[in-house]
Amino acid sequence: MFARPVLSASTCKYAHLRFSPAQRLWRAPIKYPCRAMATSSKVHLTPSQQAVFYVPGITSDTANTTSELLQENYEKHHIFFNHAGFHNHIVHHLLSLFALNATPAELMQGWNDNVSYQRPPVPLKQSVVTDMHDPQKYKTYLGNENHYHNFLVFFQEEINQKGWQEVLNEYIFKGDERADDMLVRMFGGILHPIIHLGFGVEFEQPAIIAEALAQAAVHGNREASHLIESEKAAKAHSLDTRSGTTIVQLVEEIYADMERGSRNRAKHSSQVHVTEENLEEKTAEMINAVVYFTGAAQHPPHQIKFDFFNIHAVNLSIFFCSFLRQSWLSIPNKIRLLEWKIRMDLAMYASPRPPKLLLDEIANYKSKKDSSWEDIFKRVKTYHDDGHACKLVRALANGEQVCKKYEHKDGFVIKGDMWRKLGNMAIDSVEAGSPDYVRSGAWSSVPLRDQSRI
């Protein structure tokens, strides 16, 4: 039932862009194994790439340029661009641009904006890679960024031997101590490892999947360790009291508890419950809820800005449509992965202090340009940043399509033209100038709005 995508071919047409029936934003996925030219050490994209959301008309020049740049990044750069754990976003940026049908020149701009400050990989130690094949020795290297290159080669070897689907099932989804530890690390680093994994799976690139596994392995396991405890609490929680609770209700309860001075977050995460029957709908509900609490967390009279940490939860959301497509991933693991995502979303909303949500800020938003989706895409493809903006825009456009058939249901607050307004808010907010995003509620650094437009 759930080996198919979230969206049917009929609902996934981008109707208001007036494309012909042959130019759909979604096509049926190719069954693995990956096309022969994409390997654990070589990136290879084609114009017919099976992305969750893409703009039709991608050319061979665009596919080849993206592949060549990603290959250079793969071979020459560390996953962190400095020694403070700041992530290399080139993969995320270029694949988002590729999906939005960027030209080779636009791809080169994205590359040139970010290549100069990347750092080279740490030299490989083959003896360490050999050690990693011993499960006990493998554990001793976790959480150390100096071993990123070693982990990368280790996972290349594993993928070459077993295939990337089996490697993911073994190292991430098996449910044993090692896999659970790695799954926790996937959700660390402001979700960067699992975002990286999402790109690798969506675009069927074993090399990027190897990067994601190595990236997770060198992250710590404390930031998201609450996910294991939340899962245990949920299993002990009465099913009757959590089966009908929407994510938006939990968000509202978190805010209300904060107003009362309570910070019992486990109470809310233990109410998250996904079943085989509602997996597809809950995926859409997750997308809707995270877009709601990210987009509505505004602070008038300050300019419209999105929270830097919460946009990562939005940017990750698109890949759960891709995870649903994967026939190699079991339904129980799809359910578990989605439940963890929802619990992480709730934790991100709650930290450090849950903001008041102003839905009218979205519903009544008036953009000076009031761009169509086509024009939003054009603007974001030429915006100079490290890819956060184009990831956000693509995730929002995908959310509109995923949530459309559920708009009449409880828990779906974002609906209709709010999605395009959010797209305008996203591109307007970064084009307005520094800061691109607000961090941890620090609105004092954000300029005030044009008073003539309030």
- Amino acid 118: pLDDT: 97
Distance CA(275)–CA(289), nearest Å, equals 18
Q: What is the DSSP letter of 80?
A: B
Return phi, psi of residue 438, to 5°: -95, 140
The reported pTM is 0.91
Q: What does the block give as tokens for 383?
A: 């915006």
Q: Are 201 and 322 in contact (CB under 8 A)?
A: yes
Divide the 454 residues of the chain into consecutive groups of 10 and give the mean pLDDT of each group.
Answer: 28 30 32 62 94 96 98 97 94 98 98 97 96 96 97 98 98 97 97 98 98 98 91 79 82 92 76 95 98 98 97 98 98 98 96 95 97 98 98 98 97 98 98 95 93 51
Cis ω before 352 (30° cut-off from 0) = yes
User: Three-state secondary structure along 269-284?
Assistant: HCCCCCCCCCHHHHHH
Q: At what angle do helices 192-202 and 177-186 cross, to 10 degrees?
A: 100
If 0-12 CB within 10 Å is exposed, 13-18 middle and 19+ buried, where does residue 215 land?
buried
Q: Are 291 and 401 in contact (CB under 8 A)?
A: no
- Amino acid 220: pLDDT: 95
Distance CA(100)–CA(227), nearest Å, equals 33
Q: Are 389 and 426 in contact (CB under 8 A)?
A: yes
Give Cβ neighbours of residue 259 (< 8 Å, ≥ 6 apart).
none
Domain segments of the chain as ranges = 31-221, 228-453
- Amino acid 235: pLDDT: 87
Give the three-state DSSP class for 218.
Answer: coil
Q: What does the block give as tokens for 42?
A: 């070589």
State which amino acid sits at residue 82: N
- Amino acid 265: pLDDT: 65
Distance CA(288)–CA(410), nearest Å, equals 11
Q: What does the block give as tokens for 3?
A: 């080996």
